[in-house]
């Protein structure tokens, strides 16, 4: 059985800033390693953490998993652009999530 966990770490959080400044995708890679350690006891599952930073950088395990998933979709569907479509769908979903986070920071209009 395959189990994968999606996570969108925010590199702008104070405790993440030193890691975020070190290199692109560092916060996502850190989130992957934390999730892997957290779920290490689930030996009956194949666990793959998926961590994508708020600006789109992926951790190495996430990138590998998305490429592998895209290739499988491509083989199954026969569409040569399936992998690109998957990445585009993830990007749009991330943008929508970012927009929702931004909207939550604005004050509510009084009625």
Share the mean pLDDT of the chain: 81
The answer to whether 91 and 55 are in contact (CB under 8 A) is: no
Does position 29 have pLDDT exceeding 90, yes or no?
no
The answer to whether 49 and 37 are in contact (CB under 8 A) is: no
In 10 A of CB 56, how many CB atoms? 15
Least confident of 14-28, 66-80, 96-110: 14-28
Mean pLDDT score, 39-52 = 85
In whole angstroms, give the CA distance from residue 77 to residue 72.
Answer: 8
Burial of 5 (0-12, 13-18, 19+ CB in 10 A): middle
């Amino acid at each position: 059985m395959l189990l994968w966990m999606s996570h969108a770490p925010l590199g702008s959080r104070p405790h993440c800033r030193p890691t975020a400044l070190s290199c692109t995708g560092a916060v996502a890679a850190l989130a992957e390693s934390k999730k892997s350690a957290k779920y290490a006891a689930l030996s009956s599952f194949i666990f793959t953490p998926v961590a994508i930073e708020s600006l789109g950088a992926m951790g190495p395990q996430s990138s590998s998993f998305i490429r592998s998933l895209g290739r499988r979709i491509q083989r199954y569907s026969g569409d040569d652009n399936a992998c690109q479509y998957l990445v585009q769908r993830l990007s749009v979903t991330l943008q929508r999530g970012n927009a929702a986070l931004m909207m939550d920071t604005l004050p509510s209009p009084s009625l």
